[in-house]
């Protein structure tokens, strides 16, 4: 079959960035760039106040800890430009961070295109900022497995999330042809803390569940199931929920959808959206006996956190807080970032002391910043406790009426 016309590498990557930020970002990007806003992030070390809840819970305190990638930070790994940085604690005790499209120079398209790649860290005190201890591949950060970008079949491979189950790392990725063309998603595994990877054989069509099984996040529960929230790569769809036995991750037929039918929710029903809207990157983690979903709400250009007791909770009624909002270039602070996306929980976090990797990409001819940053969020546990108490009071009242 002949190869269809595809956009150039730079055009494709700019399109990826624009869609990652969602339709709501367009006017902000245009206004900021027209005004000649400076390139840069929020002031490291400062603190900002997050959303105030109408129910009286105190505000969150959000701080930008530091930039994690860029010139002088990841130059020695030949990866000054990159994004995502999805973290997972690996069996040997280190933390592995998995990145998306990566370039040698500090600009999109700046040589030696790779994806995914990985860096390790042994940082114990997250509040001091993550420091890199090495790269997958040795001296330089090499692609986790070999393939050529812009080959006749596909353009690039982008990571969604990684989970550790019984000492094995499982990485979900999407395979793209041109912009917006997710051909399929698939699962790779590593049995040696991320040093080497092999395909599990698991592959999901790009149009599975109406295209809402492309961007995926997953976490192992205490019941032996891995729970997975998912959405579409175009950042304009709702969120679905599936579960799979931990010993069947590589079997696409073993994934059970959570759906609503005949007035009730149940496993095995056709999947029903559990969170309406337009979402991008997702990160589901268990912290301090609760479940935390951090998501990029692309429709409203902000990164949010939802705290729940279980993955099947009604997400319209759980504690939901805005962590980071979009801002024009040159008008950023600790709670406002120009063109943000991502939002992945760094191992060692707690609800009271949450650390995230957040991506930023300035589209246009500059192609920079295109980097990963670390943010710290405090106050989420108190907010969740307040919301739970309010929900309990409401339930008690409704039960006696």
CB-CB contact of 18 with 26 (8 Å): yes
Does the structure show a pLDDT above 80 at 56? Answer: no
Does the structure show a pLDDT above 50 at 211? Answer: yes
Does the structure show a pLDDT above 90 at 33? Answer: no
Domain hosting residue 353, numbered range? 9-400
**Considering the domain boundaries, does residue 16 fall inside one?**
yes
pLDDT mean over 314-338: 96
**Considering the domain boundaries, does residue 199 fall inside one?**
yes
**Considering the domain boundaries, does residue 2 fall inside one?**
no
Residue 21: per-residue pLDDT: 37
Alpha helices in 119-182 (DSSP H): none
Residue 364: per-residue pLDDT: 84
Q: Which CATH number do you get for residue 154?
A: 2.115.10.20
Report d(CA 214, CA 235) in Å as an integer: 10
Domain count, the chain: 1
**Considering the domain boundaries, does residue 178 fall inside one?**
yes
Specify which residues 84 forms β-bridges with. 99
Q: Long-range pairs for 291-296 at CB < 8 Å and ≥24 separation? A: 291/219, 292/345, 292/351, 292/354, 292/380, 293/217, 293/229, 294/323, 294/343, 294/344, 294/345, 294/356, 295/239, 295/343, 296/20, 296/22, 296/235, 296/340, 296/341, 296/342, 296/343
Structure pTM?
A: 0.87
**Considering the domain boundaries, does residue 4 fall inside one?**
no
**Considering the domain boundaries, does residue 331 fall inside one?**
yes
Q: For residue 388, name the pLDDT band (cuts at 50, 70, 90).
A: low
Lowest mean pLDDT among 38-42, 249-253, 306-310: 38-42
| Tens of pLDDT, residues 142-181 | 999 999 999 999 999 999 999 999 999 999 999 999 877 8
Lowest mean pLDDT among 23-37, 259-273, 285-299: 23-37
């Amino acid at each position: 079959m002949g190869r269809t016309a595809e956009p150039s590498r730079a055009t494709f990557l700019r399109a990826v960035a624009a869609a990652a930020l969602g339709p709501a970002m367009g006017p902000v990007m245009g206004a900021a760039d027209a005004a000649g806003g400076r390139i840069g992030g929020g002031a490291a070390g400062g603190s900002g106040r997050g959303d105030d809840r109408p129910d009286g819970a105190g505000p969150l305190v959000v701080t930008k800890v530091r930039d994690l990638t860029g010139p002088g930070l990841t130059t020695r790994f030949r990866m000054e430009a990159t994004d995502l940085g999805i973290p997972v604690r690996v069996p040997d005790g280190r933390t592995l961070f998995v990145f998306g499209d990566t370039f040698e120079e500090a600009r999109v398209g700046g040589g030696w295109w790779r994806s995914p790649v990985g860096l390790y860290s042994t940082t114990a005190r997250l509040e001091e900022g993550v420091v890199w201890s090495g790269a997958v591949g040795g001296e330089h950060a090499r692609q986790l497995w070999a393939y050529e970008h812009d080959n006749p079949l596909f353009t690039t491979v982008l990571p969604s999330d990684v989970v550790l189950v019984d000492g094995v790392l499982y990485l979900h990725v999407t395979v793209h042809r041109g912009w917006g063309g997710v051909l399929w998603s698939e699962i790779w595994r590593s049995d040696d803390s991320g040093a080497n990877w092999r395909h599990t054989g698991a592959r999901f069509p790009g149009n599975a569940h109406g295209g809402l099984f492309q961007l995926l996040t997953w976490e192992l529960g205490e019941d032996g199931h891995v729970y997975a929230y998912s959405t579409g790569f175009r950042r304009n769809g709702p969120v679905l929920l599936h579960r799979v036995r931990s010993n069947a991750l590589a079997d696409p037929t073993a994934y059970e959808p959570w759906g609503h039918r005949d007035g009730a929710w149940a496993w095995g029903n056709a999947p029903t959206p559990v969170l309406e809207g337009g979402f991008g990157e997702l990160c589901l983690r268990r912290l301090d006996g609760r479940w935390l979903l951090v998501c990029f709400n692309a429709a409203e250009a902000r990164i949010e956190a939802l705290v729940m007791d279980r993955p099947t909770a009604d997400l319209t009624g759980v504690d939901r807080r805005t962590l980071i909002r979009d801002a024009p270039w040159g008008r950023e602070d600790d709670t406002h970032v120009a063109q943000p996306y991502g939002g992945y929980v760094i191992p060692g976090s707690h609800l009271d002391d949450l650390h995230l990797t957040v991506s930023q990409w300035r589209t246009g001819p500059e192609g920079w910043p295109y980097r990963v940053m670390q943010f710290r969020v405090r106050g989420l546990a108190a907010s969740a406790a307040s919301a739970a108490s309010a929900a309990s009071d409401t339930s008690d009242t409704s039960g006696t009426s």
